[in-house]
C-alpha cells in the first residue's frame, strides 16, 4: 500500500516547476521562439559576437532516455581565451566562474526564455581582488552578453 501511495504522489508531482521570472542580477527575456530555435539562435549570436560556446549541458535528452518528459532546458557556457587570460591576470579565483552561462528554458506554452546572470554579478565576489581590471572585464562582458541576448531574442 505504501508503494502505491508513493507512486500516486510521484505521478501527481509536476515535472515542470514553472516559467522563469525576474530575479535580482539576472536578465530574463521571454520570447515567442520555440526552445530549439532559441538554443540555435543563442549559439549563432555567441559566435557572431566574438565569444565561443565552451560548454552545453541540459537534462532534457537524458531524462527522455529514462522515459521522463521534461521541458527543454539548456545551459550554454560562453567565454574566450582573451577574457580567460585577462581574468587570470586580475584574479585567479574569479576564473572559477568561467565560462559564464546563458540559460534557455522551455515555457509551459511552448515558447522559450533566455536568461543569464550578468557578468558583473558573477564576478562581484572577486572585485576586491581583481580591482579595476576585473570590473572593466565584467563591464565588457555585460555589453557582449546583452548584445548576444538581443540578437538571439529578436
**What CATH number does the domain containing 69 carry?**
3.30.310.70
Across 45-49, 57-61, 74-78, 86-90, least confident range: 57-61
70 located within any domain: yes
- Phi, psi torsion values for 96, nearest 5 degrees: -60, -20
Residue 11: inside a domain: no
State residue 13's pLDDT score: 41
Asked if the structure places residue 15 within a domain, the reply is no
Phi first, then psi, for residue 71 (nearest 5°) are: -65, 155
- For the chain, give the percent of residues with pLDDT over 70: 86
77/120 Cα distance (integer angstroms): 16
At 25 the pLDDT is 81
Question: Residue 123 above 90 pLDDT?
Answer: yes
Q: Determine the Cα–Cα distance for residues 31 and 72; give it in Å rounded to an integer.
A: 14
How many distinct structural domains can be found in the chain?
1
Q: Over the stretch 63-118, which tens digit does the pLDDT of each residue have?
A: 999 999 999 999 999 999 999 999 999 999 999 999 999 999 999 999 999 999 99
Q: Which of 23, 27, 121, 15 is nearest to 71 (CA)?
A: 15
pTM: 0.85
| Predicted confidence (pLDDT) at residue 50 exceeds the cutoff of 90 | yes
Reported as a single tens digit per residue, the pLDDT across 18-34 is: 676 677 789 999 999 99
pLDDT at 136: 98
What domain range is 125 assigned to? 28-153
Residue 43 lies in a domain: yes
Helix (H, G, I), strand (E, B) or coil at 91: coil
| pLDDT surpasses 50 at 10 | no
**pLDDT for 135:** 98
- Residue 24: the pLDDT is 79
Contact 147, 42 (CB under 8 A): no
Residue 10, in any domain of the structure:
no
Q: Is 154 a residue whose pLDDT tops 90?
A: yes
Considering the domain boundaries, does residue 130 fall inside one?
yes
Note whether residue 6 is domain-resident: no
The answer to whether residue 21 sits within a structural domain is: no
Amino acid at each position: 500500500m505504501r508503494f502505491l501511495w508513493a507512486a500516486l504522489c510521484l505521478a501527481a508531482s509536476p515535472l515542470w516547476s514553472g516559467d522563469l521570472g525576474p530575479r535580482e542580477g539576472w536578465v530574463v527575456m521571454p520570447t515567442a521562439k520555440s526552445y530549439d530555435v532559441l538554443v540555435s539562435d543563442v549559439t549563432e549570436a555567441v559566435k557572431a559576437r566574438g565569444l565561443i560556446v565552451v560548454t552545453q549541458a541540459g537534462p532534457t535528452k537524458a531524462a527522455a532516455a529514462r522515459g521522463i518528459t521534461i521541458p527543454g532546458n539548456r545551459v550554454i557556457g560562453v567565454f574566450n581565451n582573451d577574457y580567460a587570460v585577462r581574468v587570470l591576470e586580475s584574479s585567479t579565483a574569479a576564473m572559477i566562474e568561467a565560462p559564464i552561462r546563458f540559460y534557455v528554458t522551455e515555457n509551459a506554452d511552448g515558447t522559450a526564455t533566455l536568461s543569464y546572470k550578468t557578468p558583473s554579478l558573477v564576478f562581484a565576489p572577486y572585485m576586491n581582488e581583481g580591482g579595476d581590471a576585473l570590473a572593466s572585464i565584467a563591464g565588457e562582458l555585460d555589453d557582449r552578453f546583452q548584445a548576444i541576448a538581443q540578437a538571439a531574442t529578436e
